[in-house]
Amino acid sequence: MLYGGDYNPEQWPRDVWEHDMRLLREASINEVTLNVFSWAALQPDEQTYDFSRLDDIVELVSNNGMQIIMATSTGALPAWMSFKYPDVERVDFDGRKHRHGARQNACPNSPTYRRYAAELAGKLAERYSSLDNLVAWHVSNEYEGMCYCPNCARAYRDWLRGRYGSIDHLNSVWGTDFWGHTYDSFDQIYPPDRAGDGSYDDPCAVLPAASLDYARFFDDSVIGAYKVEKEAIRNVDQHTPITTNFMGNFYQYDYQHWAKDIDIAAWDCYPRLGTPPSDTAFWHDVIRCLKQRPFLLMEQTPSRMNWMPYNALKRPGQMRQQSWQAIAHGADSVQFFQMRRSRYGCEKFHGAVIDADGTDKTRTFQEVAALGRELAQVGSLIVGSMPKARVAMVFDWSSWRGLRNAIGPSTDLDYLREAKAMYAELYRRNISVDVVSADADFSVYDVVLAPTLYIVSEHHAARLNDYVQHGGTLVLTVMSAISDEHDVLHQGFTPAPFHETSGVWTMETDALAPDCTVPLCFGGGASKSIEADADHHESEPAGRVLCDIVVPDDDTEVLATYGEGQFYAGKPAITRHREGSGLCYYAGTFLNVPAMREFIGSVLAEAGIPTIETDPGVSINTRYTQAGEALTFIINDTAEPRTVAIPRDGVDLLAQAPVALKAGVATQLPPFGVMLLR
């Protein structure tokens, strides 16, 4: 199992490098990611390449037995390129042309940038692909941001021509007769910046279809820039995996759309102060399902971040717990940003394995070293194993983007938050989940949850309807299937494409005032009206943010109704409908924690999917080796001790001395404690 991360020794004299090696070996580090931001050094001018310093670093780390992930260094432009070829620089939403600065600063549609990036990637491949200890190529670094420049405008028009053929077709699909926006030619179309239709209210969109298309085009643009580097490497090196590092919570880049072009999924995991562990697990599951294979945890901080408002230290044991959580969800590496703390630049307050003191005396170093010993011992058992999930959640970038663009019905509507809220209930129940795209093969799952699947094409709707017909259980919610893939309203009884399957018509949707909730009555029983007392506001089931006025079909079962407080008191809120051999649930409001517990509980019970009840903050996950052996990870996500009932007979591989454990025996987990049951 890879254990390492970013190493940028350029900031120190060479005697420090040797010193670093000794410390890193002491910490059982076996991998370094090199060359992340060295373009200016590797290519000091347009004609010259100079790999001498990188050669030295490669030799050093190789001699010290480290494996290498080699970055291509194209995440930040060299100054000479920015000034000689200004087309490589981006134009921002406000129309401002940028100069040399920041990072992820290249326009992905700049031919100059693409040409030189490919040339550099090719030269790196020629020089280093034969290294025995090269384990992967890492193209660029944390792709992010948008560009609105003339390069992009031209490329966008070509992309649109390819997609729509004629301007009339585009006008029709985009609905440009709205507010008289009709275009006469593709030449009149520009990226939606503040001077155009982005101007109304960032990030709201006058023409949602145009905004969606620009996002999709931009995905293709950045993927295109990635692929010219990938191809340059592949010309030389046909075997080493090629990837780039993704991030969580970025609606701008659709990683599911990227998946086909990466060889192994990798991401950088930075939970902030107060991030629930289930939110982190959600993204682990998204990333694992991109390739349905183990992924790389390519970055995390060993101690603190610097770019959050409040950069708390990871508590003793917490870095270990987070690392094991990643592994439990499918990571085959534990990597850090970074090996040694920056001397300068805006990340100098970011944590590192080696701090400014340059010793092994820090708590951080010692925890890194302890985890290194553990991984050296058991890592090879784990590598290649995978979780198995009977439940899938559909997570859809188009719905995310569409709802971000939407003007109405409520500014409190947050696609990502609602997906995570439903995921959290599955996490609490220790149920393995695949978080997949709308193109996934649903037939392998007993239950498919599709919260807030706002954008659904006819094609995707047909796949999900078919899944229910053939016995699947589908869960839909308020704001389902409002729009098609161009964010054009489906006509008919909402959710029109699922009207028959769901057995409901959501006649209208009420937006609640901020902090207002509506009580929910399950099972026909009376629900108490929710009291204003803040201490109890989560104690009773309730709906949040939006409430559908649901009109159920005659054969639709009502699982919950709205309680007192609004004019739709007593009306259906949650329903279930049998269609074909399957079941379709519809939740007409976003559920608070007690309501989610009740609702998901009944869905799972009906589907025969067992919950593993644990104390709050204890999570249990299992990976299965290719030989079928189960590896069960029992993790205390909290800073307090917890008790857990051992889920099955086994041996804790992380215990000081191996102990046979019996299923059902109550066992103590220390704060942030971890057991690995074989």
Quote the tokens at residue 163: 């997609």
The minimum distance between CB 69 and a copy of itself, in angstroms, equals 18
Q: How far is the CB of 384 from a copy of itself (least distance, A)?
A: 35
Residue span binding a copy of itself (CB under 8 A) among the ranges 260-268, 288-296, 462-470, 485-493 = 485-493
Beta strand pairing status for 473-477 and 2-6?
Answer: unpaired
Q: Is the omega angle on the peptide bond into residue 616 within 30 degrees of 0, that is, cis?
A: no
CB nearer to a copy of itself: pick between 35 and 622:
35
Closer Cβ to a copy of itself, 102 or 659, answer by number: 102
Read off the amino acid at residue 348: K
> Rounded to the nearest whole angstrom, what is the least distance from the CB of residue 241 to a copy of itself in the complex?
24
Given phi > 0 = left and psi -120 to 50 = alpha, else beta, which region is 332? alpha
In the set 31, 89, 299, 598, the catalytic residue is: 299
x/- mask, a copy of itself, residues 412-451, rule CB under 8 A, reads x---------------------------------------
Residue 370 is a binding residue for a copy of itself (CB under 8 A)? no
Using the minimum distance from each CB to a copy of itself, give the nearer residue, 78 or 379.
Answer: 78
Catalytic, 540? Answer no
| Closest to 360 measured CA to CA, from 376, 372, 342, 347 | 372
Q: Which is nearer to a copy of itself, 41 or 645 (CB)?
A: 41
Question: Which is it for the CA torsion 231, 236, 239, 245, positive or negative?
Answer: negative
Confirm if 259 and 265 have CB atoms less than 8 A apart.
yes
What span, in angstroms and rounded, lies between the C-alpha atoms of 13 and 20? 11
Interacting positions 265-284 with a copy of itself (CB under 8 A)? 273-274
Residues that contact a copy of itself, how many (by CB under 8 A)? 120
Q: Please identify which of the residues 31, 142, 229, 579 carries the catalytic annotation.
A: 142
Nearest Cα to Cα of residue 109 among 73, 152, 144, 142: 152
Q: Comparing C-alpha atoms, which of 405, 395, 419, 491 is closest to residue 213?
A: 405
Residue whose CB is less far from a copy of itself, 335 or 483: 483
What residues have CB less than 8 Å from 546, skipping those under 6 apart?
409, 410, 413, 478, 479, 509, 510, 511, 512, 589, 590
Residue positions counted in the chain:
678
Q: Which residues have C-beta within 8 Å of that of residue 203, sequence separation ≥ 6?
A: 211, 404, 405
C-alpha dihedral sign at 658, 663, 664, 670 = positive
Per CB under 8 A, the list member of 288, 350, 401, 576 interacting with a copy of itself is 350
Q: Using CB under 8 A, which residues numbered 159 to 218 contact a copy of itself?
A: 174-184, 187-188, 190, 192, 194-200, 204-209
Residue 507 or 663: the one with the smaller Cβ distance to a copy of itself is 507
Give the x/- contact pattern for a copy of itself in 602-641, rule: CB under 8 A.
Answer: -------------------------------------x--
569 binds a copy of itself (CB under 8 A): no
Residues in 513-552 that interact with a copy of itself by CB under 8 A: 513-514, 549
Binding track over 304-343 against a copy of itself, x by CB under 8 A: xxxxxxxxxx-xx------------------------xxx
Cα–Cα distance measured from residue 462 to residue 498, given in angstroms and rounded to the nearest whole number: 9
Q: Is 31 a catalytic residue?
A: no
Q: Which of 593, 418, 410, 404 is nearest to 513 (CA)?
A: 410
